[in-house]
Amino acid sequence: MKPYSEMTIDELKNTLETEKARYEEFKARGISLDMSRGMPSKAQLDLSEGLLTVLSKNEDCRTEGGTDCRNYGCVEGIPEARKLMGELMGAPADQVIVCGNASLNIMFDTVSRGFTHGFLGSTPWSKLDKVKFLCPVPGYDRHFGVTEYFGVEMINIPMTDEGPDMDLVEKYVNTDPAVKGIWCVPKYSNPQGIVYSKETVERFSKLQPAAKDFRIFWDNAYALHRLATEPDERDELANILERCEANGNPDMVFLFASTSKITYAGAGIAAFASSKANVAEMKKHMSFQIISHDKINQLRHVKFFKDFNGMKMQMDKHAGFMRPKFMLVNAILKKELEGLGISRYTLPRGGYFISFDAMEGCAKKIVNMAKEAGLVLTGAGATFPYHNDPHDSNIRIAPSMPEKDELEQASYLFANCVKIASLEKLIAEKA
């Protein structure tokens, strides 16, 4: 296809007229589809039906060690669940705490403790004049929402194909004592699907923070979510906990993970891992907060998976539903937009999203047009702190929820909106 930039203004106007006619056809179809979040489809949720029956009587509710999961106790989680989640996170079982259903809840509480009590004897952040966090962008909107809630100053760090721009990370962390943390989704990052390289992980582990209470918030939400590529293609992530300990920074990283997109969204189990000192401190704080989390749900997950290999096999089943959806979106975007010079995206190897970059100044218009035609997307700017994309170009596409025919319609409609917004921009520039 001829790049739009090489078209005359008359060619642009004629093409725009054609695309606007297509847009009216889409509107007339009465589409009603919400792709604003990366929610598992019904077929994916059905994969975990065994969770509903794996515990069926009183005798089923005891751990291997005899703990009755119907009663109080085990604030740190049952041993079997700590072992299972430790294998997922790359941490020894005794350095894992299994909590409730959501890792976001653990992250929120951890930031909150930074403000109320500080970490390992450091000054509580609430007593400081300024607290800053580094935010790789585009990134996860709910991470940014947590630090915005607490009034933290957020600093954009551009993402590269290897992970965050480590030159910038080192500059801020090693020189500014107000920088207290960085958000990271190290494997199949949200939304770009990038896996941090071995070198990037190593550079993280060798940081020399100006603030002794600086922490890496390592949210490995998609540790097993190799959903977009062929089954035999594996992506390995270096073990940040091991590397930090090896390089003399054992307390610098907090790890988070959950089964929310492995079993039931909002009804899985979530866990925290870190150094022995950090885990002991967190357990001390938790003893005032809760007697124990839902141990029956922890045991239910352990019995459902049986072992870590069972968890990986579950994710292979998820990939069977997700991979065709990624491929469908990729095929339609390639068919509709390739060669026009108006967009850029990369098919991820895993995770739940496709990160799409439109022409500068077009993202909000595209999202609004899609919504008017019945397709709800993640809000433009959501992948940046304060919902402020300085280029107004990034859009997060979530293919997981719709059925195939719905996803096909949505992809064609999205491409149509991209074309219209781009054409109108180019026409305005040439006028």
Give me the percent of the chain exceeding a pLDDT of 70. 99
What is the reported pLDDT for 223? Answer: 95
What is the CB neighbour count within 10 angstroms for residue 111? 24
User: What's the sign of the alpha-carbon dihedral 67, 69, 70, 74?
Assistant: positive
What is the reported pLDDT for 233? Answer: 64
What is the bridge-based pairing of β-strands 96-98 and 270-273? Answer: antiparallel
Which long-range contacts link 379-383 to residues 24+ away (Cβ below 8 Å)?
379/36, 382/141, 383/137, 383/138, 383/139, 383/140, 383/141, 383/191, 383/355
What is the CB neighbour count within 10 angstroms for residue 295? 23
Asked whether the beta carbons of 400 and 44 are under 8 A apart, the reply is yes
Q: CA nearest 369: which of 406, 411, 416?
A: 416
Sorting pLDDT into bands at 50, 70 and 90, what band is 346? confident
Render pLDDT for 244-271 as a digit per residue (tens, 0 to 9): 999 999 999 999 999 999 999 999 999 9
**Planar angle of CA 33, 39, 40, nearest 5 degrees:** 110
**Mean pLDDT, residues 135-142 taken together:** 98
The fold of the 4-45+313-430 domain, in CATH, is: Aspartate Aminotransferase, domain 1 (3.90.1150)
- Strand residue runs (E) in 248-363: 253-258, 270-273, 343-345, 354-358
What is the reported pLDDT for 11? Answer: 97
Q: CA nearest 80: which of 363, 296, 262, 239?
A: 296
The pLDDT of residue 157 is above 90: yes
Quote the pTM value: 0.96
Sorting pLDDT into bands at 50, 70 and 90, what band is 227? confident
Asked whether the beta carbons of 221 and 103 are under 8 A apart, the reply is yes
The fold of the 60-306 domain, in CATH, is: Aspartate Aminotransferase; domain 2 (3.40.640)
Average model confidence (pLDDT) across the chain:
96
Sorting pLDDT into bands at 50, 70 and 90, what band is 231? low
Boundaries of every domain in the chain: 4-45+313-430, 60-306
**Mean pLDDT, residues 25-35 taken together:** 94
Q: Give 428: exposed, middle or buried? Use CB within 10 Å, 0-12, 13-18, 19+.
A: exposed
What is the reported pLDDT for 1? Answer: 81
From residue 161, how far is each of 166, 170, 189, 348, 380 by CA, in Å?
A: 12, 17, 11, 11, 22
Query: Based on C-alpha coordinates, what's the Rg of the chain?
Result: 23
**Mean pLDDT, residues 301-326 taken together:** 96
The pLDDT of residue 219 is above 80: yes
**Mean pLDDT, residues 213-228 taken together:** 94
What is the reported pLDDT for 228? Answer: 75
Sorting pLDDT into bands at 50, 70 and 90, what band is 308? very high
